[in-house]
Amino acid sequence: MKDGKARLLWMAVFATLLVLLVAVFALLEKNAAPKLSVLEPRTLITATPGTEQQDSVEAFSPAPTPVHIIQTPAPVLPKNAVNLLSDGDALFALDSRETAELLLRTYYQQCAYENIDENCILLKATLVSSVSTAPADGSVEYLSFDAALSKLNKNRSLISVQRTVERASVAVVMPDVQMQRTDLLPEGTRLFLHLGTASRTLTLSEFFYKDGFATSDTETLNRQISSATTKSILVGTYRSAQPDREPGQREGRKGKAKGTLSFVAPVRAQIVSYFGMRYGSMHYGVDYSAAGGMRIVAPEDGTIIFCGERPGYGFVIEIRHENGFISRLSSCANVAVELEQHVKRGSIIAYMPVPEGRETPILHYELLIDGIPYNPMYYLS
């Protein structure tokens, strides 16, 4: 009996709770905002006083799909990063003030010495733009040293450099050539009496550059530094009447007078070949056949102007006398003089070479007057 009453009591409590829950849900549904379907239109009925009620239908479009914007985070700048400013405008950011100073020095050097060669002098280079730094604020791009230098080189107007360069140029005008024919030389021979000099004019000009481009130029100096002198060449026309023979003692014309000069034979020996055309070629001196070891003397007072080996001659000694006369002797051995030494007529200057075998040594003696070889026999005492 007691169990039946208890069961009825619990059922009554459960029923009461169920009724309360239903009431609460009903109240919540009544107070909640009306739900509209995004797939079906909703009919709204509006009424205007004094008129018949009209039905109007307002269609609702599906809600737009939300757009998600991905924001790239700003780059993290180094602690000491700075903006490089030119005339107050920020160009780019660098990692430090030291890097900015190095960049500016490097860029300035490149601009100042661009295209400077051995003919140019840099007179002046000026940084026209006002350059400074400020703490980096992320408003301009952050660049490495190389990227920043490349950007400045591609656009020189970002940091303007102005310079003045002096350039030297030399204008050369070759000398005139004077050809003179003479029978003092064999046919086909050319003797350069004067090599001649070219005329040279020096011009100095100043060029002004800005941002790598020439803006103007000014000539500052135009001066002749050397005058032209004529090149003089003697062209030989001499032909021997009997070229296929040994020349005689008096072949060829005599040159100018020897004045106070008195020439002696350089060696006491027999002459075996004279000056002149010999078997089709010109023999420019006389040849002495002397024993090996015989002394060779100076033909006249003078100064040694050459003392050394010469192709085709052997060891050569040349003595400059007065009035344009020069003695040339070869081949010599055991030389007793040196260059620029003054010698007296008859003083020993060398010795005849000692041959190998039975050959007799030959001393070749030439006499040049104003650069032209003449027959020494006209002047030897």
Residues in the chain: 381
The answer to whether the peptide bond before residue 327 is cis (omega within 30 degrees of 0) is no
pLDDT at 169 over 50: yes
What is the rounded distance in angstroms from the CA atom of residue 24 to the CA atom of residue 17?
11
Average pLDDT of span 133-142 = 94
In the predicted structure, residue 340 carries a pLDDT above the cut 90: yes
* pLDDT value at residue 20: 72
Which pLDDT band holds residue 45 (cuts at 50, 70, 90)? very low
Q: Answer yes or no: is pLDDT of 51 > 50.
A: no
Task: Determine phi and psi for 160, rounding to 5 degrees.
Answer: -85, 130
Confidence of residue 234 (pLDDT cuts 50, 70, 90): very high
For residues 217 and 205, is the Cβ–Cβ distance under 8 A? yes
Question: Would you say residue 346 has pLDDT above 70?
Answer: yes
pLDDT of 47? 41
pLDDT of residue 125: 94
pLDDT-derived band at 193 (thresholds 50, 70, 90) equals confident
Sequence-distant (≥ 6) Cβ neighbours of residue 361 within 8 angstroms: 289, 290, 291, 292, 331, 352, 353, 354, 355
- Cα distance between residue 284 and residue 274, in whole Å: 8
| Neighbouring-strand partners of residue 344 | none
* Confidence grade of residue 363 (pLDDT, cut at 50, 70, 90): very high
pLDDT digits (tens, 9 = 90+) for 147-156: 999 999 999 9
In this prediction, residues 5-19 reach a mean pLDDT of 71
Better-scored residue on pLDDT, 277 or 53: 277
Q: Is the pLDDT of residue 63 over 90?
A: no
Tokens of 359: 């050959």
pLDDT at 15 over 90: no
When mean pLDDT is compared across 295-304, 319-328, 352-361, the lowest value belongs to: 352-361
pLDDT at 337: 97
Sorting pLDDT into bands at 50, 70 and 90, what band is 1?
low
Interval 252-287: pLDDT, tens: 889 999 999 999 999 999 999 999 988 888 999 999
pLDDT tens digits, residue range 82-131? Answer: 999 999 999 999 999 999 999 999 999 999 999 888 899 999 999 999 99
24-28, 217-221, 368-372: least confident range: 24-28
Higher pLDDT, 40 or 96: 96
By mean pLDDT, which of 39-43, 145-149, 204-208 is the weakest?
39-43
pLDDT at 21 over 90: no
Q: What is the pTM of this model?
A: 0.53
Residue 325 DSSP SS3: strand
pLDDT, the chain, mean: 85
145 and 103 Cβ atoms separated by less than 8 Å: yes
Structural domains of the chain ordered from first start: 82-165 (no CATH), 169-207+215-236 (2.20.230.10), 240-378 (2.70.70.10)
pLDDT above 90: residue 50: no
pLDDT over threshold 70, residue 55: no
